[in-house]
Structure 1
Amino acid sequence: MLVIIGDFIAFVIAIVLTLIIASVPVWIAGKLVSRRSTFGQAMAATLLSIIIFYVFFFIFSLFTPFIGIIFGFIGSLWVFKEVYGIGWIDSLALAIIAIFIAVVISLLLGVFLFPIIHIGMIHGHFVGSPYIRTQMGII
């Protein structure tokens, strides 16, 4: 029973952290487009746009997945429009800027975080592992 509760707590923490991380590009784009964006608005817009996108995608994908994606994207634009109080064009600009910022952040993390993670590795083994320490004469 404790394992199930622990797994549920880990799941909730993962969902909250993912929502926070996914909200950062929306928050930055919201600041650029509407000037009165708060991080709470960005989190609400991110969560609601994900929910609306998948509901519309599920409903309209019964015809074809492409139609589901189009209607899901329009639903996400509507969420941005309502949460930020902006027009359709500004909502589209916010979505495009947020996607661009997310790609840039992902690339920067990939460029700088990947080498940091692999600095401690030699031939696929962590330097801290007993095998590597033995081979290097540390143990």
Structure 2
Amino acid sequence: MITVIEQAMQARLVAIAPKIEIVPVTLCYERSDPFAIRMTFPAPATLEGVAVSWTFARELLESGLSGPAGHGDVRVRPYDGDRTTIEFHAPEGVAIVLLLTAELQRFLERAASVVPPGMEHLYLDVDQSLAQLMRDTC
């Protein structure tokens, strides 16, 4: 049974200059963290020169495909009929990427085959999470 979904995509990194750079990104969904999606940017695409991952709600990505979603560090909205914008807000600045909406939909469909939307609570390991919290406090 599949428990992790990963999908490589080409993202257009929107810069201040008129040039738009294409960078590879990886989306990841894991059954062990059923509410979250992780997007990883490779080292050459980051200010620090190391790979950077952002974790945000699957529901945020789903909602952002049809209309503006998010008020925090990650915001998602349709750009045009074919692309979706994801904004990442950090103290260093804002990164804006454009992704093909069809690829995002395909990723979400694959994630739904691992954990159906609305059923995430059935896949949480509360005992393990509580044990991890208790270890961190000692």
Report the TM range for the smaller structure's normalisation. Answer: under 0.3
Query: Which structure shows the higher helix fraction?
Result: 1
Structure showing greater Rg: 1
TM-score when normalising by structure 2: 0.27
Query: Which structure shows the higher strand fraction?
Result: 2
